[in-house]
Structure 1
Amino acid sequence: MFGKIISYEHHDNKVRINFEHRVGKIEVITPNIVNVFSSFKYQDHFSRAIEDLEIVKCNFTVDKKDKYIEVITDELIVKIYDEFKVDFYNKSLEILCEDYRGERDSFIRRGCGSIAEEEGHKVEKNTDNHKIQVIKKIYGDEKFYGLGDKTGHLNKRGYNYEMWNTDDPSPHVESYKSLYKSIPFFITLREKYTFGIFLDNNFKTYFDMGKENSNYYYFGSDDGNLDYYFITGIDMAEVVNGYTYLTGKTPLPQKWTLGYQQCRWSYTPESRIREVANNFRNKDIPCDVLHLDIDYMDAFKVFTWDKEKFPEPTKLLKDLKDNGFKVVTIIDPGVKKESGYDIYEEGLKNNYFAVDKDGITYVNKVWPGDSVFPDFSDSKVRAWWAENQKIMVDTGVSGIWNDMNEPASFNGPLPDDVQFRNEGRGGDHTEIHNVYGHLMSKATFEGLKKHTNKRPFVITRACYAGSQKYSTVWTGDNQSFWEHLRMSIPMLCNLGLSGISFAGVDVGGFSFDCTPELLSRWVQVGCFSPLFRNHSSMLTRDQEPWAFDEETLNINRKYIKLRYKLLPYLYDLLWQGETTGLPVMRPLVLHYSDDDKVHEINDEFLVGKNILVAPVVEQGKRSRAIYLPKGKWIDYWTKEELEGGRTILKEAPLDLCPIYIKVGSIIPNYPVQNYVGEKEIEELTIDIYPGNGHYTHYLDDGESFNYKSGKYNLYDFTMKEGNGVTLEIKTPHLEYEKGYSTFRILINSTEIKDVKFNGKDIAYETKKHVVEFSIKAEEGILVIK
């Protein structure tokens, strides 16, 4: 396809390589990130994921060798051969990743597939070669992570996937190649090396992670450009940071979005949502958010209210707000085709909708019946859609939930030849499909930002790489199956590794009927998921915390209250993630990749670095084996200290989720509230697990963008263990006027004889395995003997 190397040119950060038949480009983004590019459709990058990319000026050399061109940065050596074969080495000349020199050679599938298909079996077929494809050699020690929320296990070795946003409400199993999201990024972990590859191509793309042939893996596309980024780092965390350097970090959300959220299809009429709200308060269950599904609308017309079901929506939302509830409403992209409906009429007048190949507005069926689809690939349409968010904001809506934005449609999928403006370039559905939900989220984000001047809360079902800049996500229409509870953990962990830190699943399952035991175990996982939302479908049994029995209610209350207790820790992680790109919910392999025992752990996860959660995800089990990585860990419930690097057996009755805190951890806690903001937090609780450690706690107003201009506080805690424990407290940044008055210190140890703060004796009390006392929230040295 490319032929032999003829010559090369070096300009700024780019190396242009002229082959016999085509041109290839190597672009140095940072010393750790290199782009491989060749124009097949557009002359240069046309990325929907990467915006305002800053090229880091760095020294690198380009040399012509006998058989290849060599590009050397401070961290990478890139060798480019004939046929645009590209190999990557580290600075020690150790091979990291190389192109496979052979041809694709799939395993044999025997038998007659058509016979099996007659009975309804889904028959796998080997895929054809693609217009663009890159084949990489497998050395044998590779594990693959990322690729968004694909079903199956954490390690994707031996699986193949397609990136084509797909609405499929049937039960998701590990054989699914496509779901609602397309995030063409994966991390390769080898015995000594780690790197990531991001294929920035929003056409339908393909990833075979050694399934077709154990000698290679490949990624490819049927259209677009050859355009991928090779990202290296000393560990997986650095690779994630590099990927999010390209595609963006998850911005700090409003604090209330981390509270518990309750949803159902549907809470109508008005009396029903008031009943649900009252139950939360009367039954002493914290809750911040109630969601309204499609039935709140007038005939499913977006940006409208059904005045029979909700005669006074503004008053309803104010009443709920006065009781501490924010309301999030669903908005789908399908606009009802109806004369006199202002959204339809305005969009039609201004040519804001996608058209067929003859230029006629394209129509398909969704919830409203015949519907048309806004062309979010056009900036003018996005600005119009953003302006429409004011309709919801003025009613009192606090966030927007974008659904059905793959886009989904009932009369078959949108044809490939549906036309979009594509920022003036033109393009059809094959190019826009995978970024349709991404661009809708961007428009929604900008609208909420403009009309609230607060950090937008946008939830989306469909997305592309980089959507983390605009929205949180959930994994779509799961089922009330134990298998879906089990699968939710690797799905959320891989989403986090794919840049999307703020993510969740429908706690309890969306379809089918949940059981008391399943909800009890699922809420124990949901407690630690960034997006903590219980959601269920119409015609399924009620799934609210009180819908079953007293035991289930108590377990839900226990873990929802634990969530509110841990809110400052979760908020700190999201604040850190805006700089590091690291997620809240993490697979153990992210921080313990040198321990091969964690590479395939699907049923445990970390929350930050400090908390390990090992939930029970099988019906009837009341104990489980737990692997603790190297180091010392404290059982959160019993305060027992355990040596890591081994597997333990833990009793886990239905109301207990095994939780372990790493020795040396400092965990900030809040008092439990009915909702975020109910209480003015004047005392921060510092939960200390003695050892050597450091922690920075972050505080701001929890909703505005003032933190961008420095309106926040930082509290640094440095703990050293020797003859007792010394805690040094510093306040390096105090620009937010509402700081803390006191710190409530919890020391998870009873062997304490003396406590001094800045040389003065402090009275303390012992409760079970914890010593408690309060000090002023000021700089100083706390000495505990």
Structure 2
Amino acid sequence: MVSMRILSTFAVISAFLFLDCEVESCQTTISDSNRRDCSPWSGTNQASCEARGCIWCPHETSGIPWCFFNDHVCPSLIADGEKVDCHPESGASRESCNNRGCIWCETSTPNTPYCFSDPTVSQGGANCPSDISDHERIDCHPDSGSTEDSCIKRGCHWCTSSIQDVPWCFAPKTTGYTLVGDVTQTAKGYTATLDRKPTSSWYGHDIARIQMDVEFQTNSRLRIKIFDPSVARFEVPLNISSTSAALDPLYSVEFSNSPAFNIKVKRASNGATLFDTSLGGLVFSEQFLQFATKLNSHNVYGFGEHEHHSLKHDMNWKSWGMYARDQPVTHGANLYGVHPFYMNVETSNLAHGVLVLNSNAQDVTLSPLPSLKYRTIGGILDIYMFLGPSPENVVQQYTQAIGRPVMPPYWALGFHLSRYGYNDIQTLKDTVNRMRAFNIPHDVQHGDIDMMDRRLDFTYDPVNFTGLPQYVRDLKNEGTRWISIQDPCISIGEPAGTYRPFDLGQSMDVWVKESDGVTNAEGRVWPDANVYFPDYSSTSCQSWWKQMSIEFHSTIEYDGMWIDMNEPASFVTGSVKGCYYNQWNNPLYKPRVYGDVLADKTLCGDYLQSFGSHYNTHNLFGWSQSPVTQEAVQEVTGKRSIVLSRSTFPGSGSTSVHWLGDNHSLWSNLHYSIIGSLEFNLFGIPFVGPDICGFGGHTTEEMCQRWMQLGAFYPFSRNHNGLGWREQDPGILGAEVARVSRESLEIRYTILPYMYTLFHHAHIDGSTVMRPLFHEFVTDTATHAIDRQFLLGPAFLVSAVLNEGKTSVSAYIPDARWYDWYTGAEVSNSLRKSWTTLPAPLDFIPLHVRGGYILPTQQPANSTMFSRLNNLGLIVALDDNEEASGDLFWDEGDTKDSFENGEFDTVEYTAVPGILTGITSNLGYAGLFGMEYETVRVMGLAHYLDITDVRVNNQQHNLFTFTSSTGVLDIVNLTLPAHEDFSITWTAL
């Protein structure tokens, strides 16, 4: 079959070869050689050309564009009779005129100078304007192939620079729009009508008149919406609204119309400017939208999904493309999800966040000014600001807007094991048996596509995995849950009536369509035959997917679902037929994303889904699959569950969790995994982690041992690797790796009540679970760039070894009391706000607890099914005032909507000098009945000589020890009912 791409190219060639000898004449001042193609796609005609704002002029010579940009636009609105000659002497040319900072506009009006002054506009030129510094430059030619000639044709400046990566072609400050009339006040804020300033077009079809609405949505949230008021364009179907204007906003807004229309957002408390578009460069065309803003500081975090090598962004003209892609984790590549959100910690150490709610292909460039330039190729510019003022406040406000994180079941916080390449059930059983033999905690087992029958969704291989359904039931009886994988696409190659997912999908017409709206989009993925792509945005597809998920549970009684390849991925470009060569598959500007075309490894942009074209909705594919999958799993299990999704978008965290994709068994990936996990906590998806020990490549014993130590403290702790690489489960790498893995995981299981409570707060308040140090110590600027250590919640510090052969860690000690997890000994007060070297032999990971906090704990077991039956404990870490606080959230562990339905217990813990109290509330679950506090450890009493008396609920309790050298009081053999209020007192000498 001749591909569509080849046919389209043939059509273009034929259009030139099939010319009549007579060609319609036209008038243009642009020479043949200077014609800049405005519509290179097949099917262009005069109407479509002129609709793009371009010139239509047929030509008898092959290769000369018939549709081309008008590069002789006069940017000035000064009437001919009012122009003052800027070049009265002879020899004037556009170049010499522009070099004087003047405008060159040829005219037929007699006695009118071509070169004249108009300080309100610019025509660019081969000159270096004094009012634009190198770091203020806005790239006027972000696509490749920039030359002096092509730059000037766009009405931009061409000026070389010795600074690496600084654009040589850049926009005048006057580029953009001008205000029509006045900014008008509305019920929620302001509205402004803006007209495009005359200048050459960069990519065609510029929108002449746009509207900006500014909404004071809440005291901490501001919306800036820039759109075409005359034509409805695609908007992300994520409703972030407010009913009335904020009464006491943390921000103020200022507008200016010079040198082009711009907006500034300031913090009300100190007047600091947080968002400032006075650099110019606002572009709003059909397929290219851009804004630039100055930033308050260089402390920028976020944007994803990528493998970033530092948490704090490199601001040296670094660009990041965002377009969901099936891509092994690679630095610089756009990966599986899209998150156009960033946080900026200001020079005052306050913080704000910004979301650009857009689902088209896009990119962002960060510059040292500091500033950022954002570009997208569709939709609207829908900007939300979150004023904090603390980093945690920013995340809480962001998740309030896009959706609070889903509450995972308790068992999901246990250790997960997986592998692509067990290949048969005996290998799987051998792996699990090793876990049991070494008594390594093992809460969840995953099944990858090698367990499917010929890679077909909703099947299992009855030959190589004989008895898998019963084995899954056996595992669950032993305390190990099961998560099944499903890919989004369905094979079309099975005989009619033999493969229900396809047969039912056909009858319900659930597939993504080609551009004709009728033909099903056809690609290649894992099955032997071609596949169709379900359209998860359609109600019929959602019903079908839900039905198939429910039916599959009668075969494999899974507890959670793993949805992979949902960017969506395809092993061919666009489809098995290729893609038409048109503006939706081949836009004039392709953001800085991997692949020669946008359809590389995915679908054609002109394909259709229920909620829009794939051009507009590609990045929403996984986002639309997650909610219905969560509904299906909860319905069939009757319990709370997890949906593990590879592709994510703002709001995905409300129904799904995430892993960091196909990473590598490299030491560097330990570090990068911390960065990625911290970023997804910023994005509102706190249940996240990488493939421990690496997905691709052969791990080593030392690497995997260190990674298991680190991985014990990811929010999502899973060891997983790929087909063909050495086995790397903790039991296969020797007794020492197994021991260290078990001991590290036992610490995790000990603090699971604390971690589960953190997830509760994330679900209710939107806070992070795994957070960078600067979230807690933002006024200490030394923490702003730290990304090799992290905190679980506010109180548990992890400082893992991340390099081969190292037996110590360089760790920063923030300004607080810190206690060694293992001994309870306090870190020397002299080390506060400084770096120190912590010993870390191969079987040891440095862990510390922060003073001022109380951590609920529980005796560990090899599964949460058993550990939840054990007694509780408390770690009381006193601050400088000998005070601390904490809480416990406790429910059945997997009941749906337990908090919303009041089916939970809570306890508030408080410590003041000599007294610890626990106050229970909302005993709506009553699960604490029958449980007891067995141990309490109080840390931070080293300045006392001795503890002479301990009383529990006013009754003397003699089973305690006090270690004066470390200041640790251990109270043991308690039998305190966990559902009752209590008090513990101690008397110190």
TM-score (norm 1): 0.90
Partners of 2:359 and 2:564 lie apart in 1 by 20
Which one-letter code corresponds to 2:982 in the other structure? G
1:78 aligns with 2:253: yes
8 Å CA contact 1:414–1:429 kept in 2: the answer is no
- Structure 2 equivalent of residue 191 of structure 1: 347
**Structure 2 residue aligned with 1:695, among 873, 878, 886?**
886
**Structure 2 residue aligned with 1:142, among 275, 290, 298?**
298
Of 470-479 and 392-401, deviating more is 392-401
Partners of 1:222 and 1:200 lie apart in 2 by 13
Which one-letter code corresponds to 2:250 in the other structure? E
Q: Deviations over 1:217-254 (max 9, x none)?
A: 12221111111101112211111111111111112111
Of 708-717 and 507-516, deviating more is 708-717
> Secondary structure, in 3 states, of the residue corresponding to 1:734?
coil
State the Cα distance separating 1:573 from its structure 2 match: 0.3
Partners of 1:56 and 1:626 lie apart in 2 by 47
Of 392-401 and 14-23, deviating more is 14-23
Q: Deviations over 1:279-315 (max 9, x none)?
A: 2222211101111110111111111122112334332
Partners of 2:843 and 2:559 lie apart in 1 by 33
8 Å CA contact 2:666–2:694 kept in 1: the answer is yes
- Structure 2 equivalent of residue 765 of structure 1: 960
- Structure 1 equivalent of residue 547 of structure 2: 387
Of 374-383 and 485-494, deviating more is 374-383
Which one-letter code corresponds to 2:346 in the other structure? R
Which one-letter code corresponds to 1:80 in the other structure? F
Partners of 1:104 and 1:59 lie apart in 2 by 30
8 Å CA contact 1:297–1:306 kept in 2: the answer is yes
Partners of 2:302 and 2:293 lie apart in 1 by 17
Task: Tell me: higher relative CO, structure 1 or 2? Use CA pairs within 8 A at least 6 residues apart.
Answer: 1
Write the mapping of 1:336-415 to structure 2, written as runs, cut at 5 A: 336-338=491-493, 339-340=495-496, 341-358=499-516, 359-369=518-528, 370-394=530-554, 395-412=556-573, 413-415=601-603
* Pair 637,615 (structure 1): closer, same or farther in 2 beyond 3 Å: same
* Pair 492,373 (structure 1): closer, same or farther in 2 beyond 3 Å: same
**Structure 2 residue aligned with 1:663, among 844, 851, 861?**
851
- Structure 2 equivalent of residue 102 of structure 1: 279
State the Cα distance separating 1:595 from its structure 2 match: 0.7
Which one-letter code corresponds to 1:781 in the other structure? S
State the Cα distance separating 1:501 from its structure 2 match: 0.6
8 Å CA contact 1:717–1:728 kept in 2: the answer is yes
- Structure 1 equivalent of residue 899 of structure 2: 707
8 Å CA contact 1:24–1:84 kept in 2: the answer is no
1:55 aligns with 2:242: yes
Of 766-775 and 371-380, deviating more is 766-775
Larger radius of gyration: 2
- Structure 2 equivalent of residue 627 of structure 1: 812
Q: Deviations over 1:195-233 (max 9, x none)?
A: 1110000101211121xx635212221111111101112
- Structure 2 equivalent of residue 532 of structure 1: 717
Write the mapping of 1:228-307 to structure 2, written as runs, cut at 5 A: 228-307=383-462
Write the mapping of 1:327-726 to structure 2, written as runs, cut at 5 A: 327-338=482-493, 339-340=495-496, 341-358=499-516, 359-369=518-528, 370-394=530-554, 395-412=556-573, 413-423=601-611, 427-642=612-827, 643=829, 644-679=832-867, 681=869, 683-690=871-878, 691-705=882-896, 706-721=898-913, 725-726=914-915
Partners of 1:582 and 1:484 lie apart in 2 by 26
* Pair 45,695 (structure 1): closer, same or farther in 2 beyond 3 Å: farther
> Secondary structure, in 3 states, of the residue corresponding to 1:731?
strand
* Pair 59,244 (structure 1): closer, same or farther in 2 beyond 3 Å: closer
Write the mapping of 1:128-139 to structure 2, written as runs, cut at 5 A: 131-138=288-295
State the Cα distance separating 1:37 from its structure 2 match: 0.7
**Structure 2 residue aligned with 1:4, among 179, 183, 188?**
179
Which one-letter code corresponds to 1:590 in the other structure? H
State the Cα distance separating 1:377 from its structure 2 match: 2.2
Partners of 1:130 and 1:775 lie apart in 2 by 68
8 Å CA contact 2:860–2:867 kept in 1: the answer is no
Partners of 1:681 and 1:297 lie apart in 2 by 35
**Structure 1 residue aligned with 2:365, among 189, 208, 213?**
208
* Pair 707,104 (structure 1): closer, same or farther in 2 beyond 3 Å: closer
Which one-letter code corresponds to 2:971 in the other structure? E
- Structure 1 equivalent of residue 583 of structure 2: none
- Structure 1 equivalent of residue 588 of structure 2: none
Partners of 2:359 and 2:246 lie apart in 1 by 31
8 Å CA contact 1:502–1:583 kept in 2: the answer is no
> Secondary structure, in 3 states, of the residue corresponding to 2:254?
strand
- Structure 2 equivalent of residue 781 of structure 1: 983
> Secondary structure, in 3 states, of the residue corresponding to 2:947?
coil
- Structure 1 equivalent of residue 323 of structure 2: 164
Q: Deviations over 1:675-712 (max 9, x none)?
A: 11225536211122233111111110000123321111
TM-score (norm 2): 0.72
Partners of 1:162 and 1:100 lie apart in 2 by 21
8 Å CA contact 1:352–1:374 kept in 2: the answer is yes
> Secondary structure, in 3 states, of the residue corresponding to 2:482?
strand
> Secondary structure, in 3 states, of the residue corresponding to 1:209?
strand
> Secondary structure, in 3 states, of the residue corresponding to 2:760?
helix
8 Å CA contact 2:689–2:718 kept in 1: the answer is yes
> Secondary structure, in 3 states, of the residue corresponding to 2:292?
strand
State the Cα distance separating 1:655 from its structure 2 match: 0.9
> Secondary structure, in 3 states, of the residue corresponding to 1:678?
helix
Partners of 1:366 and 1:271 lie apart in 2 by 27
Partners of 2:606 and 2:471 lie apart in 1 by 41
Partners of 2:868 and 2:766 lie apart in 1 by 30
* Pair 380,232 (structure 1): closer, same or farther in 2 beyond 3 Å: same
- Structure 2 equivalent of residue 114 of structure 1: none
8 Å CA contact 1:377–1:420 kept in 2: the answer is no
Partners of 1:45 and 1:574 lie apart in 2 by 34
Of 612-621 and 756-765, deviating more is 756-765
> Secondary structure, in 3 states, of the residue corresponding to 2:961?
strand
State the Cα distance separating 1:93 from its structure 2 match: 5.8
State the Cα distance separating 1:609 from its structure 2 match: 0.4
State the Cα distance separating 1:594 from its structure 2 match: 1.0
State the Cα distance separating 1:44 from its structure 2 match: 7.8
Aligned length: 737
State the Cα distance separating 1:541 from its structure 2 match: 0.9
8 Å CA contact 2:905–2:923 kept in 1: the answer is yes
Which one-letter code corresponds to 1:531 in the other structure? F
Q: Deviations over 1:755-776 (max 9, x none)?
A: 1123211122328755122142
Could you list the runs of 5+ residues in structure 1 that have no partner in the other structure? 61-72, 106-127
Partners of 1:287 and 1:98 lie apart in 2 by 48
* Pair 161,254 (structure 1): closer, same or farther in 2 beyond 3 Å: same
State the Cα distance separating 1:12 from its structure 2 match: 3.4
Q: Deviations over 1:81-140 (max 9, x none)?
A: 3355221112246133233433569xxxxxxxxxxxxxxxxxxxxxx997211211145x
Partners of 2:382 and 2:241 lie apart in 1 by 17
> Secondary structure, in 3 states, of the residue corresponding to 2:842?
coil
Partners of 1:517 and 1:649 lie apart in 2 by 21
As a proportion of its length, which structure holds more strand? Answer: 1
Which one-letter code corresponds to 1:466 in the other structure? G
> Secondary structure, in 3 states, of the residue corresponding to 2:386?
strand
What's the RMSD between the two structures over aligned residues? 2.2
* Pair 242,43 (structure 1): closer, same or farther in 2 beyond 3 Å: farther
Of 380-389 and 248-257, deviating more is 380-389
> Secondary structure, in 3 states, of the residue corresponding to 2:823?
coil
Partners of 1:149 and 1:762 lie apart in 2 by 54
> Secondary structure, in 3 states, of the residue corresponding to 2:863?
coil
Partners of 2:766 and 2:371 lie apart in 1 by 29
Could you list the runs of 5+ residues in structure 2 that have no partner in the other structure? 1-175, 196-208, 574-600
8 Å CA contact 1:356–1:417 kept in 2: the answer is no
